[in-house]
Structure 1
Amino acid sequence: MKLRVVLFSVLVLSELMVFAQRPSYSSINKKAIKIYEEALGKFELRYFGEALPLLDKVIKKDPRFVEAYGVKSTIYIQKEEYLKAISELEEGLGINPDFMPFLHLDLAELYFKTEQYSKGKERAGLYLKKYHPKAKLRGKAERVLESCKFSIDALKHPVDIEPENLGPNVNSDLKEYLPVLSVDMNTLIFTRTIPDSRSIDKYQEDFYASFKHDESWRKAFNIGAPLNTVVNEGGHSLTPDGNAMFFTICDQYGFYGEGRNGYGSCDIFVTFLRDGKWTNPKNLGPKVNHKKHDAQPSMSSDGRTLYFSSTRPGGYGENDIYVTYLTNSGWSVPQNLGSVINTPGREEGVFIHPDNQTLYFSSNGHPGLGDNDLFMSKKQPNGLWGKPVNLGFPINTSKNDFDFTVDAMGEYAYLTSDRDGGFGDWDIYKFKLPDYLKPKPVTYMAGKTFDSETNRPLSARFELKELEDGRRIVESTANSNGKFLVCLPYGKEYALNAAHEGYLFYSENFKLNKPINFKPIEKDVPLQPIKIGGRVILKNVFFDTDKYELKPESKVELEKLKEFLEKNPTLKIEIGGHTDNQGSKLHNMELSKNRAKSVSYWLMMNNVPKERLSYKGYADNEPIMSNENPEGRSKNRRTEFKIIGK
């Protein structure tokens, strides 16, 4: 973050050096010029403490020496003494406003930084209108102007929130940042900068974690090895099931930690949870990591899309947001999210909500209130990201506000800020999100997969798809204990399938309406060994009432059945149709037979050999529940398959 201060006036500083070193000065006082050139030498070496008194002498010799005021203001900017820098610039520009025009931009930016937005707007507008700067400085001035305009309006229309510091169990007199919340909202993992005499820089970054108890966060603790080492680890993202973590390792003079290799100043690594322990981190490789700086990954809830920030060449600015996809051959070449998201400035701190439709990030390139503001973008129906929305005041302030994360329900957000009133340099805060900034809420399903006969845990493979369009939402694997967790966005109907070699696949249907409270779905998944007589109810095969034509939503389940038969090429199955006891026996027998026939025909039309298939209608002869109530009758109306040959 210190880099942002150094870069604050880098464009103006470079222009200033050109003017400051030119042979013709604004002064003809030889003694003043001699002292000024001595001061300039100290300034170039960053000996600011020695340069300042020399510059005071210059001004005493010649109070109209404009360059001296400009250099003094730049020193104060580097020292973060912004009000003093403003005073020097106002003095220098008051003497001759046209001698060093770019100082108007420096002054406009300082007005913005010190919350004098009206003055900043006026000064940036003057600079653009009167001096017609070249492209780089023009772009910078336009951003300052737009940010001042935005800030004036934002302060008039504050967001109704009350940021709450997470308190001393999480925050300290050190820096806490990059918070990430588990899907169940009971674990917080964040990065802390800590003193370490082993480190070359005497400070390093480590992961810390805190558990929630009775709505309060317990004392945070260092996660320890093998994740934390003497080098810098941070900027992490957990997969929803908690079985994998993507995070950033930054080198210390080429060292990434014992047994770790890197490609740039910061790289993205992955570690997996095996038998309760994290594996040694593995670099994602040169396809993802560049020789520059790649950091702050955020994993989507489907476990196959990774967002991160990078300084690699070819982007739109200093730091851009990229995305890479997990394919059958590994991670894809990262794609830039484009100019709607990325600017000539810095975009970072990216967070993709588990709804996979809402992106939050920080930027100093879009109009905002401070050095770094937080933004939200929604994915559009065409798959592109929409125009970013500034989260507003007081979520954003004139300070640095960054590292944003939102809980699964979309109710509460967590951010990092150096705003006044904290415990240290950077603290983690929490607040309730206003409705217009909320993502789509999600819940999760947690449970265990096991052998239905022996209860032995199974590492089954899960797949969750939207029935409407067949789009895969999640693909995941249960851990060695058979435990799993998958995210389920509300407002959709889903097909969930679980499969394991040597077993019949499991089928489930979920229809999640608008949430009332965050109540996870708990589900045990017994898998049946493949054997003669084994049955699976196809819970995602659908027909209209009293019809036997397959509805389009059935395709997801039918594709799964086809895949199962392809993986088990010797199996023969019978498709069985079943009804409740409403209506005549003859009608129900015909209806159930035709429904079974429709499934069998679809499989044949999709290259399953007909000699492996048979079908039969059972009407209401094999109920699995009572037909005396609506719920029972609903369960009895079903399509299933049965193993009849191996």
Structure 2
Amino acid sequence: MHSKRLISILTLTLIAFMAIGSVAYAGSRIVLKPKVDAFAYFIDTSPSMAQSYKNTGNPKIIAGLNALKRLNNVVPELGYDSALYTMPDFATYSPKGTFSRGAMARGLSSVPEELPFFQSTPMGKGFNDLDGTISKWNGKFAVIFVSDGLANAGRNPATIVSQMSDKYGDRFCLHIVSTADTPKGIALLKRLATRTPCGVFVEASALSDKAVLDKFAQDVFYTQEEELVVEIVEEVVVAPAPVAVQEKIVFRNLNFGFDKYQITDEMVPSLTEAAALLEEYSNLKVKVGGHTDSTGPEAYNQGLSERRAKSVADWLAGNGVAADRLEVKGYGETSPKYDNTTKEGRKLNRRVELDVED
């Protein structure tokens, strides 16, 4: 689910002077891939959620529901299952089924906004009831819990969530949308978010910020991956006389981790495609260029870029590309394509590029 295509072929130009031929046009596009197979919104409807949230003038339950409604509008429909439950009296407002924004919006609108008074909040029991339901789920799943963190009866909810984390391992992520306004409530909710290795904590009010909302949605629900797109087009080219064939193929964005140069399993599918294309155009020579971000000494980065280029060249040579077609060159940090002041820019600059020419 989390594998990425680390090579995108941004330009592929082949001019062939023949009676009938074909041209391969290649590019890339960003696609969304689900992080989970299913998720559940889990809403605290205990009496304290009827209290005012911060200085908004709205009850906490309204603030929490509004945050989920904003989130629901940006969750992409990627085929995962979803459900909507409440606690402490466990109730279902949207049964488990293929996620659609419209169906979930109807479920959120049906959650009661008028809450009972003088009722205890056995949050631990709520999670125990939830566990009894999601124990039947397959694959990876996330729970998005909306609460003010006030629990005053029954078992410690952190203990229950820890037990769930032990049982499900990395299949289970608990994320928190907090309406807490007390140090005790905030502390409990942050503790719950850390009980699963992938948990994310966010304030309900923060989800009114589009950037925060989009980041939370991506952290919980999906990844953005670059996908290779190649189109072969048959064409007829009329030429009065034979002309030399000019070919150029440029492979870009083979990215490495920080201070890393080894080939990973995730790179192999894309490298395999690269080797296949180079085998098809066997008359071309390849310049394998390694690059780094600007972190660290310049001399060290020069050596690191050379090691990255050599690791790619060695892989290609071991998988059908003649070694005498491969020229290895390290550029260090001297040729950045992206902004080295940002984390994403530095990641994209840790790359190997293959320039293929006669």
TM-score normalised by L of structure 2: 0.36
Q: Which of the two has higher C-alpha Rg?
A: 1
Higher relative contact order (CA 8 A, sep 6+): 2
TM-score normalised by L of structure 1: 0.21
